[in-house]
Structure 1
């Protein structure tokens, strides 16, 4: 009797083991969710992102559904992967879908599940926890999954479709999209319209972005006569710097007032935020308290909307915030442009003047979705390098009823939201690649 029970238990154990292995196999690569989890598990976080493994994975996935691939490298160890679905009329300008391979770091001890485990909570609503789940490995997989589904129905695009996977977006994209967009390889793609990443929305409308703000790094340095802490100096380094800090704070308040009054979105004003102050004479116990320093420095992060005039803000910096008559100097590192190659603000029209807009909008609505009012992205993406070329581009990640968790602890995406996004991209890709209304780049 005992041996029979043991034998039964062994059989049950084997059955359970096989079931677990089957479930694991489906999760690991046999379903859209499983492929998403696999991609999330590649540790592409800075400062040492692993690009080789995810690129190999994406190449395999693309080739498995009959797409061609090409890996380019403008900086050693930083690949740009281009996946192509050839259209029936390749002479027409192509469609480009972009996403980035890298992600920001994750503090594992602050997460409820390991940030690169892609843990899926089956008892908690199907939440997939991983760094990059929202920003933006979701769309990188959704592009391929939507094409997989379209190909299974026999759909053939008229326009050629390209998918680009680029490195280093999270640190500025200078060795990734910036070099790719400036290359002959990119020109040869003949891109007429592009999509790049957007953001989640806690509400029930899909957010769409027509421009990014441009980041500037401003460093202001004040100099003055050093001396005893008890003496009153005119135009001392700290005194001059604090005058600038006060003036900048007032400007920040005026910009913020527009936001608080509902007259402008956060992304439609110039944000000026202090990020560091550096001054004082160091000592073994901290700073020499009875000595006024001869130099003081402050660093600011500026974000400028495309409609603002960069010359006016530079004039304000030179004449008000860091005037030379107060023994002040400054440096500005412009991490992007505000005007395209024809001198126009870098943004994409979201009205009747842009025929791509109505095609995109109708494709989203065909899935039962609704677009929110088009926005300027408060931060910065690789989209700016493409828009600078005069190519219309919209930022779009189909995530609704989802908290905004990019760069946050416990970043997650609900499995049903991910799957709905595939359906949305099927509609968008089929509509855009079938549109014949534009025969040349809209520049």
Structure 2
């Protein structure tokens, strides 16, 4: 297709309209997103509700199934996007510019406004063909996914409203693949943000004091870096695993001291830890505490964010939704890979609530640009994704 044809395509127009809404952190105003989604529901002749997760809106569009007593299907997406550094962009990040090669630029092009409007496009086409799913399908558009555990899906899944939806399975976001394959994410690593408050002997900077905070920090940092190095080597040695299959530990903040000639009584270090699903989290915490004792003690562990282990979605014959999803991919003739998501999505809250979820974004042969400058998605990739979702949604909704 030419640039003019892409510009006149109704589905591309809808996608670009959504991209132009600056639902960007911090202090997101979700009102334009809600109004946009209400218009989409009206065009599809589907009922829509707006419920609250904390003080933030969740938009829920309902496509009634032939057998509504069966567990329902959720098509989840988030309305918010991460901040931009405008001076790093070659296109205005909220203009949804379309270039001559068919690249559509905008914050959210991959993460994940494309997926949201692809769901809508797929349902539009399925409804036009006369198709009605066996199971009821809910489209949920949630706030604050990019803000961690702030009121969003984490609140919604605990609500009586969500329980009444009788959800059996959820679609959610994945990420782009740089080769011809498509990634399907069935699990996520456990996230810890750990602050170590390291107390030690204080005094004059000219002395060789014993058990200073610096000495203790050096020991602990050495142990963590040794652990990190083993994971780096394991990743480099084994071509069958990805970053989501290893445990990462990274020093992200370091604070302490008031003057260059005073040995401080306290240093604080923050580590971002993402734990592989094969690791025993109880044993890992014990290991870290042992390192702190070996360093000389006097170290307080403060978990600023400590998520529990969440069991992966089963990708075997025991999960009929997975069987339907995988069969649809096979019938589409595409190559897929089952992976553990390296970051964090709302799927973890769904899985924790007992809802099996798969993360999937129909994007291949595309640079991974989520949270990056000049985020874009090609128009032909976008439209092909709608066709893929038509097949996937119909298959899973009839599972």
User: Is the 1:99–1:164 Cα contact (8 Å) retained in structure 2?
Assistant: yes
Q: Tell whether 2:87 aligns with 1:87.
A: no
- Provide the residue aligned with 1:302 in structure 2: 273
- Provide the residue aligned with 2:254 in structure 1: 277
Task: Give deviations 1:267-309, integer Å, cap 9, x for gaps.
Answer: 112110000111221xxxxxx3222111111110000123321
How far apart, CA to CA, are the structure 1 residues paired with 2:241 and 2:142? 33
Mark the runs of 5 or more structure 1 residues left unpaired by the alignment: 1-22, 282-287, 340-345, 436-443
User: Is the 1:255–1:270 Cα contact (8 Å) retained in structure 2?
Assistant: yes
- Provide the residue aligned with 1:10 in structure 2: none
Give 1:367-406 correspondences, 5 Å limit: 367-372=332-337, 374-406=338-370
Q: Tell whether 2:223 aligns with 1:244.
A: no
Q: Normalising by structure 1, report the TM-score.
A: 0.86
Give 1:303-342 correspondences, 5 Å limit: 303-321=274-292, 325-339=296-310
SS in 2 for 1:117: coil
Aligned CA distance change for structure 1 residues 423 and 126 (closer, same or farther; 3 Å): same
How far apart, CA to CA, are the structure 2 residues paired with 1:140 and 1:227? 58
Bigger-Rg structure (1/2) = 1
User: Is the 1:28–1:37 Cα contact (8 Å) retained in structure 2?
Assistant: no
User: Is the 1:98–1:163 Cα contact (8 Å) retained in structure 2?
Assistant: yes
- Provide the residue aligned with 2:379 in structure 1: 415
- Provide the residue aligned with 2:119 in structure 1: 143
- Provide the residue aligned with 1:111 in structure 2: 89
Q: Normalising by structure 2, report the TM-score.
A: 0.95
Q: Tell whether 2:396 aligns with 1:425.
A: no
How far apart, CA to CA, are the structure 2 residues paired with 1:217 and 1:36? 35
What displacement does 1:140 show?
A: 0.4
- Provide the residue aligned with 1:70 in structure 2: 49
What displacement does 1:223 show?
A: 1.3
Q: Which runs of 4+ in 1 moved over 6 A?
A: 23-30
Q: Tell whether 2:28 aligns with 1:49.
A: yes
How far apart, CA to CA, are the structure 2 residues paired with 1:131 and 1:335? 29
What displacement does 1:329 show?
A: 1.3
What displacement does 1:367 show?
A: 2.6
Query: Structure 2 residue aligned with 1:211, among 187, 190, 193?
Result: 187
Aligned CA distance change for structure 1 residues 312 and 385 (closer, same or farther; 3 Å): same
How far apart, CA to CA, are the structure 1 residues paired with 2:33 and 2:350? 24
What displacement does 1:323 show?
A: 5.8
Q: Tell whether 2:14 aligns with 1:35.
A: yes
User: Is the 2:220–2:295 Cα contact (8 Å) retained in structure 1?
Assistant: no
Aligned CA distance change for structure 1 residues 264 and 361 (closer, same or farther; 3 Å): closer
SS in 2 for 1:211: strand
SS in 2 for 1:365: helix
Task: Give deviations 1:237-287, integer Å, cap 9, x for gaps.
Answer: 111111111111111111222111117421112110000111221xxxxxx
| Number of equivalent positions | 397
Query: Structure 2 residue aligned with 1:226, among 202, 211, 220?
Result: 202
- Provide the residue aligned with 1:352 in structure 2: 317
What displacement does 1:322 show?
A: 5.6
Give 1:163-178 correspondences, 5 Å limit: 163-178=139-154
What displacement does 1:186 show?
A: 0.7
Mark the runs of 5 or more structure 2 residues left unpaired by the alignment: none
Task: Give deviations 1:332-381, integer Å, cap 9, x for gaps.
Answer: 13343204xxxxxx201112222211210121232332212x00001111
How far apart, CA to CA, are the structure 1 residues paired with 2:225 and 2:377? 37
RMSD (Å) for aligned C-alpha atoms = 1.9
- Provide the residue aligned with 1:7 in structure 2: none
